[in-house]
Amino acid sequence: MSTSSELSSRIAFDLEAFFSERKTLIDGALDDLLPAESVEPISVHQAIRWSVFAGGKRFRPILLLTTGEVFGASPKELLTTACAFEMIHTYSLVHDDLPSMDDDELRRGLPTCHIRFDEATAILAGDALQTLAFQSIAEDSLLTSEKRVLLISELGRAAGTPGGMVAGQARDLEAESRSVSTDELEQIHRLKTAALIVAAARCGAIIAGATQQELEAVGKYAAHLGLLFQITDDLLDITATAESLGKTPGKDARAQKATYPSLYGIETAHQRAKLVHQEACTVLERIDRPTERLHTIADFILNRQA
Ligand code: GRG
């Protein structure tokens, strides 16, 4: 298991500069891909840009870029698919915040899309982000047609149902009114949160032309990472402030939702996070490539404060 000094030295590798440089790259590409606010229908395009550029860590696209680079792809080849993941992720946040779902007023530190605009506009903005994600990959002339089809298939499976985010969201909503076992909780999170994270890592590797064995290993790494992401999300819901989170904290407890801390207790949830982090790092040993940055991303998720 990594010692805390090993962890802090990996984190000390200029993580902030690494994330901020990639975030700038991604935001520039998103700006090129998204319709301009001046184009009709103006309200939908304003709502799309409001939600996408409200902030956000850009975790999924950064993971895709990093994985792709580990396996030898150039940032240029990876960028459009990375943006497609951010579009899908942002659509999911916009729809999750709607009154019929999580009913939230704060996201990425700003009023949610349906509060700033209106419900119909928020639904359309989410819909448009989803279709633009697939369109962007389909039209990416830097990739072969064969790769584009593979990427669209990966993203569709991970975002949809029965094996992806929509299925996880539906099961999560359905489980709100009853008690949930730890196994079921983990299954919901594998679908709702981890599936997209796994697909982001796999798509980076697919663009780079990784082997089936490498794809399988990187998918396992990302499955642990996705679970770790959710455990830390649940812990932050209890411990963080609205200012640092950019969204309303304490919602899970108020809704009496099953979460890692509510089922295991805070201390055990922390222990579980450390174990899952270690499992993610162990899988990386199977990959004969320079995977240090993937270790660093796992460290970042374990220690994240937002
Ligand atoms: C509406 C189909 C549909 C799905 C919604 C995103 C989602 C599924 C639910 C949001 C609820 C939630 C807290 C999920 C846990 C993990 C998660 C997706 C957190 C938000 O992602 P971050 O932290 O957000 O990467 P930023 O703003 O940094 O991009």
pLDDT digits (tens, 9 = 90+) for 198-211: 999 999 999 999 99
* Tokens standing for residue 302: 């374990």
CA distances from 50 to 79, 88, 188 (A): 21, 15, 29
- The answer to whether 226 touches 193, Cβ cutoff 8 Å, is yes
Task: Calculate mean pLDDT across residues 255-269.
Answer: 87
Q: Closest ligand 1 atom, CA of 166?
A: 2
- The answer to whether 226 touches 195, Cβ cutoff 8 Å, is yes
Residue nearest ligand 1's atom 24 by CA: 56
Q: What are phi and psi of 110, to 5 degrees?
A: -130, 165
* Tokens standing for residue 130: 């989803």
- Residue 290 CA, ligand 1 centroid: distance in Å: 29
- The answer to whether 26 touches 62, Cβ cutoff 8 Å, is yes
Chain mean pLDDT for the chain: 93
Q: What is the pLDDT of residues 76-135, one digit of tens each?
A: 999 999 999 999 999 999 999 999 999 999 999 999 999 999 999 999 999 999 999 999
CA dihedral over 297, 298, 303, 306, signed as positive or negative: positive
User: Radius of gyration over alpha carbons of the chain, in Å?
Assistant: 18
* Tokens standing for residue 19: 């994330």
Most confident segment among 170-179, 261-270, 282-291: 282-291
Task: Calculate mean pLDDT across residues 28-52.
Answer: 98
* Tokens standing for residue 144: 């072969």
Strands, E, within the chain: which ranges? 106-107, 110-111
Residue 251 has pLDDT above 90, yes or no: no
Q: What is the pLDDT of residues 146-201, one digit of tens each?
A: 999 999 999 999 999 999 999 999 999 999 878 899 899 999 999 999 999 999 99
Residue nearest ligand 1's atom 11 by CA: 96
Task: Calculate mean pLDDT across residues 1-5.
Answer: 47
Question: What is the pLDDT, as a whole number, of residue 129?
Answer: 98
The HSE-up count of residue 140 (CA atoms within 13 Å, CB side) is 30
**Residue among 57, 75, 58, 56 at smallest CA distance from 66:** 75
Question: What is the pLDDT, as a whole number, of residue 5?
Answer: 46
d(CA 291, CA 283): 11
Kindly report the pTM of this predicted structure.
0.93
Point out which residues pair with 111 in neighbouring strands: 106
Residue 246, classed as helix, strand or coil, is coil
- The answer to whether 33 touches 50, Cβ cutoff 8 Å, is no
Question: What is the pLDDT, as a whole number, of residue 12?
Answer: 52
Residue 82, classed as helix, strand or coil, is helix
Our CA angle for 143, 148, 149, nearest 5°, is 155
Q: Probe ligand 1: pick from 93, 130, 189, 196, max atoms within 8 Å of CB?
A: 93
Question: What is the pLDDT, as a whole number, of residue 54?
Answer: 96
- Cβ(112) to ligand 1 under 6 A? no
Q: Probe ligand 1: pick from 63, 155, 190, 193, max atoms within 8 Å of CB?
A: 193
Q: Give the pLDDT band of residue 1 (cuts 50, 70, 90).
A: very low
Residue 26 has pLDDT above 80, yes or no: yes
Residue 248 has pLDDT above 80, yes or no: no
3-state secondary structure 104-153: CCEECCEECHHHHCCHHHHHHHHHHHHHHHHHHHHCCCCCCHHHHHHHHH
- Cβ(195) to ligand 1 under 6 A? no
| Greater model confidence, 129 or 240 | 129
